[in-house]
Amino acid sequence: MAYLQPVRGTHDLLPDDLRAQRFVQDTAAAIALRYGFEEMTPPVFEFTDVFQRTLGDTSDIVTKEMYTFDDRGGDSITLRPEFTAGIARAFMSNGLQQSVPVKFFARGPVFRYERPQKGRLRQFHQVDVEILGVPGPQADIEVIAVGAHLLLELGVADDVTLEINTLGDTESRQTYRETLVEYLTAHKSKLSEDSLKRLEKNPLRIFDSKNEGDREVMAEAPLLQEYLNDHSRTFFDDVLQGLADVGVETNINPQLVRGLDYYSHTAFEFVTTTLGSQGAVLAGGRYDGLMEQMGGRAMPGIGWAAGVERLAMMVGDAAPTKRPVAIVPVGAPAAREAMKIAQTLREDGYHVDLGYSGNMGKRMKRADKVNAIASVILGDDELAKNVATVRDMLSGEQAEVPLSDLREHLAKYR
Ligand code: ATP
Ligand code: MG
């Protein structure tokens, strides 16, 4: 009965998993808002062309990883493998060219047919920010700063470093490309089959290869940095200076690339050594040529996406939880009163756990299990006096509180 297992690479997010992931997502939404990003959500699936045209025929995602199918109407549909393409499509569909700059935050599940392992899933989640319509380095600085701020707020900044590079403008890349192709052609015999294909269409992407032979060749390859024109060099210097100004540390990695033609200038990745081989937690870059590639008017853009599962693993159980007030009734009359008290407190905004059955010991155990911040104990004695015993679960101190003062007494636990 294989169907009683989730599909390989997918997971049930039980409350403990979801708590950490919500923390990551909600923190990201809140920090992004501080930087002026507003949340939007593109659909989970799009016409296949949306991804095919933007991600390019040679990317890993398009060649190996997309969940693509024909729907009942015969359209080729793909479950989104990332957010940027869908957001760019939404930008055009909604005529937002008139309202630039546009700053979007998005979150949700994405799908890639990959070999599942720790930190690599087939359904995973991303948080994503994009700025559309800003050609200058301020956008690059802001987009990277919001990422750095998120990692700081999640408490993982010390375990992460920012690697950054520039891909220059089209002119710089053109000059460089010729030199690179010449070099690679001379070393053809050592390249993998995948990379031989990329050599024609997309030679920069070979820097991204995980193949041993490719890596050896690329270690000696000429670097784009040496071919930058003045504009590209100044642009990169401005980005680096701006990041220094806002206190973001950078490590220049001249081999970091995004291999598609519509990428330009800034490329970056926040990486960690704490997650084994799945070290990239947040990655992005400038994609000034993307809108044209999709058939729209030229429009600069820059953004990043972060893996929620990878960040949640780094956060571990440090995600804050809301501790409830536990109501612990003993005996039938008290149970009835407890229900009424719980209702009043809940209407008041308290987070209340109500033990359903069992003796006092069993119910107190439940109060511990739900990590209650305070317990309200109600037995026959208490009922007779119209009071409750309130136990502070941190200090263990108990106080007898008249039922009429209960809300006031509990205020500090809200
Ligand atoms: P990798 O090199 O690990 O395959 P990528 O370059 O494919 O990453 P991007 O497309 O830049 O990743 O996606 C942004 C982020 O999404 C990554 O930095 C990572 O944190 C996360 N991510 C990518 N693929 C997966 C996956 N299969 N499972 C979980 N998280 C992922
Ligand atoms: Mg990948």
Q: What is the pLDDT of residue 365?
A: 87
Q: What is the pLDDT of residue 151?
A: 98
Shortest-distance ligand to the CA of residue 278: 1
> Cα–chain-centroid distance for residue 403?
46
Q: What is the pLDDT of residue 259?
A: 59
> Along the chain (414 residues), what's the average pLDDT of each consecutive run of 10 residues?
91 93 97 98 97 82 92 97 96 95 98 95 98 98 98 97 95 91 93 89 86 92 94 98 98 84 90 90 95 92 97 90 92 90 93 84 87 93 93 93 93 86
* Cα angle, residue 193 at apex, residues 187 and 199 outer, rounded to 5°: 55
Sign, CA torsion 386/389/392/398: positive
Q: Cα–Cα distances in Å, from 388 out to 342, 380, 406? A: 13, 10, 8
Give the DSSP letter of residue 405. G
> Which residues is 374 bridged to in the sheet?
325, 392
Q: What is the pLDDT of residue 353?
A: 94
CATH number given to 2-169+229-318: 3.30.930.10
What is the domain partition of the chain in residue ranges? 2-169+229-318, 325-413
Residue 272 contacts residue 149 (beta carbons within 8 Å): no
Q: Phi-psi category of 251—alpha, beta or left, where left has phi over 0 and alpha has psi -120 to 50?
A: beta
Q: At what angle do helices 48-55 and 84-93 cross, to 10 degrees?
A: 110
Nearest-CA neighbor of 378 among 388, 392, 363? 388
User: Token pair 């760019």 is at which residue?
Assistant: 88
- Give the CA radius of gyration of the chain: 27
Q: Is the pTM of this model over 0.95?
A: no
Q: Ligand 1: which atom is nearest the Cα of residue 310?
A: 20
Sign, CA torsion 39/256/44/113: negative
Q: Ligand 2 centroid to 61 CA: how many Å?
A: 7
Paired tokens of 99: 């309202």
The full DSSP string for 256-305 is ----STT-EEEEEEEEESTTTT--EEEEEEE-TTHHHHTTS----EEEEE
Q: Which stretch of DSSP H or E encloses residue 353?
A: strand 352-354
Q: Ligand 2 centroid to 195 CA: how many Å?
A: 16
Q: What is the pLDDT of residues 301-322, one digit of tens each?
A: 999 999 999 999 999 988 888 8
Q: Which CATH number fits domain 325-413: 3.10.20.30, 3.40.50.720, 3.20.20.60, 3.40.50.800?
A: 3.40.50.800
> Which residues is 328 bridged to in the sheet?
377
Q: Cα–Cα distances in Å, from 165 out to 16, 158, 264? A: 37, 21, 10
Q: Ligand 1: which atom is nearest the Cα of residue 306?
A: 15
Residue 159 contacts residue 311 (beta carbons within 8 Å): no
Q: What is the pLDDT of residue 393?
A: 92
Q: Ligand 1 centroid to 409 CA: how many Å?
A: 49
Q: Ligand 2 centroid to 373 CA: how many Å?
A: 43
Paired tokens of 37: 């990003």
Q: What is the pLDDT of residue 54?
A: 85
Q: Cα–Cα distances in Å, from 100 out to 16, 304, 317? A: 40, 18, 40
Q: What is the pLDDT of residue 59?
A: 80
Residue 181 contacts residue 189 (beta carbons within 8 Å): no
User: CB of 208 closer than 6 A to ligand 1?
Assistant: no
> Which residues is 109 bridged to in the sheet?
125
Q: What is the pLDDT of residue 118?
A: 92
Q: What is the pLDDT of residue 361?
A: 84
